[in-house]
Amino acid sequence: MKLIDVGDVIGMSENVNTNKKYSVLPFGPQHPVLPEPIHLKFIVDEEKIIDVLPNLGYVHRGIERGCELNDYKRNIWLTERICGICNYIHGATYCAAIEKITDTEVPVRAKYLRTIWGELGRLQSHLLWLGLFADAIGFESLFMQIWRDREIVLTLNEKTNGHRIHLATNMIGGARKDIDDSLENEYKKDLNLLRKKMDALKPVFYKDSAIKQKCEGKGILSKNKARFLGATGPTIRGSGLKEDARLTGYEAYGQLDFKPVVYEGEDSYSRMLVRFDEVLQSIDLIEKAFDQMPEGPILNKNDKFPMGHTVIRTEQPRGEVFYYVEGNGTNKLTRCKIRTPTASNIPALINMLIGYEVSDIPTIVHSIDPCISCTERIVYVRRNE
């Protein structure tokens, strides 16, 4: 720990007394709680957090520039590598953007397939997070239980596409693979099994006193603050706001009678419950999609080069992802701007942390489900430098 003059740096908190000297507690970039490197400087007054200064850029990979140098068709695989966990939705969003520019009609069956795989991605992401969260608050047995149940989803991925995480089934104009009847039955059987396992764990998340004591009332983000700071995904839905990109009805969500999960608690506990309920909701959505999915082609090939620009947004497990894609009629794009959900959630995270104690940091940092490698595209500029 070292003492710094807080007047040198910009803070979001009004509590900072610029005439006083505070201690600085470094958190990360390598820390057991963090799955990925982010450096947070906590300005603390004894145990109380006065301000937080985020420092990003440890895993910057230049993917946006890579998208401009690559052939636009190869970008599908590059965008899938922005995030390991939400890889499918990144690829599908990129494909949807190119389809919008080139006026490609996607077959209805392909839209349903995208919805199913997108929801499977959400399932495995939320299960991974619930496990990591249980681990962060010191609940080891729950962590192992959830990760064991997550294997069901990963095996389903492998049966369909050959890989556990990277599905690689995105294609401009549809999907590369289909789900046949025997596989559909396996999906239904395995998802039923997963639902039973999640139902058995429901009382643990809803009633366990250890979890409640660790999370209830920690990291409060009020409705107004959540909207003002641009929070997305379960972070904003945990604050009681009905915000979900799936409500726009992209892919097949319009036909699935989708209603977002919203909790009014505004704290880490409600954000956790939003994610737990979304696991059950995703299972329902996949089953509904299977019931409604029509027969037909899955790919409508269109080799037209993208000319023009578009904006597209979809819902990822962590929140809303935004793509701006611009092409000039050649096989290379002129711009591909990507904003991932964690980028929008970091200001909210900083606001949540202020006023709490050092021991609450793991719970609150985990409650936004930080995915740092996806976010490494933004720069925080200090005012007086």
Which stretches of the chain bind another protein, using CB under 8 A?
A: 74, 76-78, 139, 141-142, 145, 148, 151, 155, 158-163, 166, 168, 176, 200-201, 203-204, 207-208, 210
Q: Least distance in Å: CB of 319 to another protein?
A: 26
User: Nearest to residue 287, comparing CAs of 181, 153, 187?
Assistant: 187
User: Looking at beta carbons only, is 151 or 284 nearer to another protein?
Assistant: 151
Residue 170 CB partners (closer than 8 Å, separation 6+): 76, 80, 88, 91, 92, 94, 95, 176
Q: Least distance in Å: CB of 106 to another protein?
A: 19
Q: Least distance in Å: CB of 172 to another protein?
A: 13
Q: Are strands 2-5 and 319-328 parallel, antiparallel or unpaired?
A: unpaired
User: Looking at beta carbons only, is 114 or 339 nearer to another protein?
Assistant: 114
Q: Torsions phi, psi of 364, nearest 5?
A: -75, -40
Q: Least distance in Å: CB of 51 to another protein?
A: 35
User: Looking at beta carbons only, is 161 or 351 nearer to another protein?
Assistant: 161
User: Looking at beta carbons only, is 19 or 141 nearer to another protein?
Assistant: 141
Q: How far apart are CA 297 and CA 308, in angstroms?
A: 28
Tokens of 206: 């809803």
The H or E element spanning position 315 is: strand 307-316
In terms of residues, how long is the chain? 385
DSSP H helices in the chain: 63-69, 75-80, 87-101, 108-136, 140-161, 181-207, 209-215, 223-228, 234-237, 268-292, 341-353, 361-367, 372-375
User: Looking at beta carbons only, is 193 or 200 nearer to another protein?
Assistant: 200
User: Looking at beta carbons only, is 17 or 155 nearer to another protein?
Assistant: 155
Q: Least distance in Å: CB of 208 to another protein?
A: 5
